[in-house]
Chain A
């Protein structure tokens, strides 16, 4: 009798649950219409350049139409994972946090794109430019659309006020090292304590600039701890700069949610080390009247570098195709177009650095940068390393961020940081299963 009751309850639960799980599956069965264009479902976040790309593609392609599913940028990664695990109707999607590709690849959500690229008869320039961050286990899983590169953005007015030469002066002389960066940041604040020499933002990955340039992986994709000396070196530099007010306090930025763009717009920061998307934010700042100075009063140059040959860091942003899509060829044509010359030109008109900028894109980029040598540095041929691109990436960054705060707040010394960081990396490797 008791068993019967239990069975009855379980049957009831199963009956009630089946429609919940069936809902996701039924969506994937939607077949393309017999006539008319193939409609693909494409997921991305609320970015004006993405919308312009989709609109242009739809206007210029009669046989394929992109149905955009725009999610808010905040928590995009979480929503995407939930949608993928429910096998929602997604043919292609923009990857926001690149290291998430490892988990998606392991779960079989990503379609290898090598055969599609081969069918075009030529290598894809965007993939070739960012090969190390586009390939997992020999499979090309993403076509980069936006390039990944960090630069030094500087405010000419702040340098003028402090009476210090702008960073491009040192770049030209081959002296733009991390030591010089520290020296310059301190000089700005020393000249006028109301000025902050520099800003490196709060994201954990921002602590790996020097490590990335040196080619250190932090944790290698096969689970081995790499050299952490450059992480330590950068952290010590940050502390020295924060202590004299020559770098914006990381903890203060975090708890007050003070965005790096706001700091730079306000005109009190000398240098900001941030990625290739920032010119787009400067254009937005100008258009929205947020800049406390003239648009021509800022510039772009190289990231400080201690290597014999200049190398920057950064991961590209790209598009993937789901392995369960019924319209893979159409999805590929769209994402391939997006990273091609036409897509690049549209992206560039929004201040974005395309992964493979053609001539038209370069002309567009020039319109969105201040005059002078910024364009040359923005588009120069350069090495690009990707520290922390591994299945452990997100945990390493977040856990590092906590330890970094412990050190910056003076709760631990640098030796304790080294010991704790090594232990932490070991724990992450051991508990990633």
Chain B
């Protein structure tokens, strides 16, 4: 009876898991295995390819352009993570409290996150149009010097980073508001009785209480930062090689160019594997490091 019940239960669990598991295998595991395999070949989209060992990896790491794209990716990731998490936290602290209009502000700040990156990219492309765009018109109207924005290799990446931060920090804000609302008020009362001022309460109660959410938020932001592609593709040149002068080319964009413009699928796969390893390593480091700063038992 017990065995039969246990088998039935296992069967039910498996039947619920199977669709996702099949999806995972077809759409995640298999492409990963195939990309890894292809990274050791000169595959160009046809049957005539051969095993070339580590050549794609050697070519990538001896190519200054690849290292430059890696550096641009790191810059994008670092700045967006710092500001998205920072702004998310600041606005969460302000909007976690109940006051008249707080729902409106929460909604307004979260709204950009539900918009398509493509639509946002196109809209900002017009705002930052280098000759007669809204931003330059505004600067002229207040007597400030104009900029070439997306048309300059010096400012294009900063513009894209700013837009990415604007669109995404609301997501982290909502996440942190949820975390803040879960911190027990009694902890603040106890800290107050012990003579802790607001800053000390923030450092010793809020931050530890919020640390699981912060950990999750940073992890997601880092992964998203490394994977950025859509803004670059839409706002700075698409299939024409990104730009200007390759200044906004991140690794994901170079993978796209090599795979779908040059049809160097083998090399692009090697770049993808490198990107995956970097993301895995960062996630592992964060996961390993969380023991030192994430508290799951304070709430």
Contacts and interface: CB of A to CB of B under 8 A. Distances in A.
Given A13-B30, A252-B131, A409 B153 contact: yes
B240 A254 contact: yes
B257 interface: yes
Interface string A257-292: 100000000000000000000000000000000000
B235 interface: yes
Contact of A405 (B52, B150, B244): B244
A100 B263 contact: yes
Given A17-B30, A252-B131, A255-B235, A431 B59 contact: yes
Contact of A409 (B240, B245, B263, B267): B245
Nearest to A403: B245
Interface residues of A, number: 43
Nearest to A79: B260
Interface in B100-129: 125, 129
A108 B46 contact: yes
Interface in B233-273: 235-237, 239-246, 257, 260-263, 267
A394 B261 contact: yes
A305 B229 CA distance: 41
A21 B239 CA distance: 29
Interface in A75-89: 75, 77-78, 81-82, 84-85
A204 B52 CA distance: 30
Contacts of A252: 130-131, 151
Interface string B20-63: 00100110011001000000001011111000100100010001
Contacts of A20: 26, 30
B48 A107 contact: yes
B246 A81 contact: no
Interface in B46-103: 46-48, 52, 55, 59, 63
Given A16-B22, A433-B55, A405 B153 contact: yes
A103 B125 contact: no
B30 A405 contact: no
A85 B25 contact: no
A135 interface: no
B162 interface: no
B26 A107 contact: no
A20 B151 CA distance: 44
Interface in A286-330: none
Given A257-B125, A395-B262, A108 B244 contact: no
A155 B53 CA distance: 57
Contacts of A204: 240-241
A409 B244 contact: yes
Interface string A11-34: 011001100100000000000000
A85 B45 CA distance: 5
Interface in A121-135: none
B152 interface: yes
Contact of A402 (B22, B129, B246): B246
A405 B260 contact: no
Contact of B262 (A12, A249, A256, A394): A394
B243 A251 contact: yes
A250 B192 CA distance: 63
B163 to A, nearest CB: 14
Contacts of B156: 255
A20 to B, nearest CB: 7
A109 B44 CA distance: 12
B245 A411 contact: yes
Interface in A173-204: 202-204
A399 B241 contact: yes
A84 B241 contact: no
B272 to A, nearest CB: 16
Contact of A108 (B33, B48, B131, B237): B48
A405 B243 contact: yes
B260 A398 contact: no
Contacts of A406: 153, 245-246
Nearest to A395: B262
Contacts of B151: 249, 251-252, 254-256
Contacts of A380: none
A320 to B, nearest CB: 14
Nearest to B42: A433
Contact of A13 (B25, B59, B63, B153): B25
A255 B232 CA distance: 11
Contacts of B150: 255
A12 B245 CA distance: 47
Interface of A: 12-13, 16-17, 20, 75, 77-78, 81-82, 84-85, 100, 103-104, 106-109, 202-204, 249, 251-252, 254-257, 394-395, 398-399, 401-403, 405-406, 409, 411, 427, 431, 433
30 contacts: A13-B30, A16-B26, A16-B30, A17-B26, A20-B26, A75-B260, A77-B261, A78-B260, A78-B261, A81-B45, A82-B45, A103-B263, A106-B46, A108-B46, A204-B240, A252-B130, A252-B151, A254-B236, A254-B237, A255-B236, A255-B244, A256-B125, A256-B130, A398-B257, A398-B261, A401-B243, A403-B245, A405-B243, A409-B152, A409-B244
Interface of B: 22, 25-26, 29-30, 33, 42, 44-48, 52, 55, 59, 63, 125, 129-131, 148, 150-153, 156, 235-237, 239-246, 257, 260-263, 267
